[in-house]
Copies of this chain bind each other. A is one copy, B any other.
Amino acid sequence: MTPERKQKLISTLERRQPDLHLITDQVHKPRNLAALIRTCDAVGIPYVHTVTPKAGYIFKGTAKGSDRWVKMISHDSCEQAIQQVKLQGLKVYAAHFSDRAVDYRDVDYTIPCAILMGSEKEGVSDAAAGLADQHILIPMMGMVGSLNVSTAAGIIMVEAQNQRLKAGLYNESRLDPDEFTDTLFEWSFP
């Protein structure tokens, strides 16, 4: 490995945000999941919780290799994923059309939190929506009722990044030192 490559890995790890997660509730299309993971890498989200649809599911798509840089944690249900991140002290913001939804820019992403995205067809389930701490929404001005799930996720994740940039959360390493070392070791394999 070249020194430049090693430095790139280190400075990426220094910007990882261990207290910012993404949860996807049965996103069916592999290419949507791929785009989601690619944006997670870009904003420094280290963990994506997935609930894989029951039927035979093969992950492929243009993640541009970003699935290498983001840890996928799979769960049997979305409720299980939410409970797990809550035990870690994260608030859950569900991107969900409901009466209690607020503008996505009006919540605080600098606190430990997880962003929950619904599936293409069903959106966020009632059970999962009930467990979320807040519902958030990107205002829409057109005829069509929803955005593509990976587009919506990207918009929300980059808002989280903008808030965290402003708060200085990318300025010094925030990963647990052991995890930093282990991940660097793992990433260093060709």
Contact = CB atoms under 8 A, between A and B. Distances in A.
Interface of A: 8-9, 12, 15, 31, 34-35, 38-44, 62, 64-66, 68-69, 105, 120, 138-148, 150-155, 158, 161-162, 165, 170
A139 B9 CA distance: 17
A12 B69 contact: no
Given A39-B148, A151-B39, A66 B142 contact: yes
Main secondary structure on A side of the interface with B: helix
Contacts of A43: 140-142
Contact of A141 (B31, B44, B146, B148): B44
Nearest to A65: B144
16 contacts: A12-B141, A15-B141, A38-B144, A38-B148, A41-B142, A41-B143, A42-B140, A42-B144, A44-B141, A66-B143, A66-B144, A69-B143, A69-B144, A141-B170, A148-B150, A155-B158
Contact of A146 (B8, B64, B142, B165): B64
A42 B141 CA distance: 5
A158 B120 CA distance: 20
A35 B144 contact: no
Nearest to A187: B143
A147 B39 contact: yes
A142 B66 CA distance: 9
A2 to B, nearest CB: 15
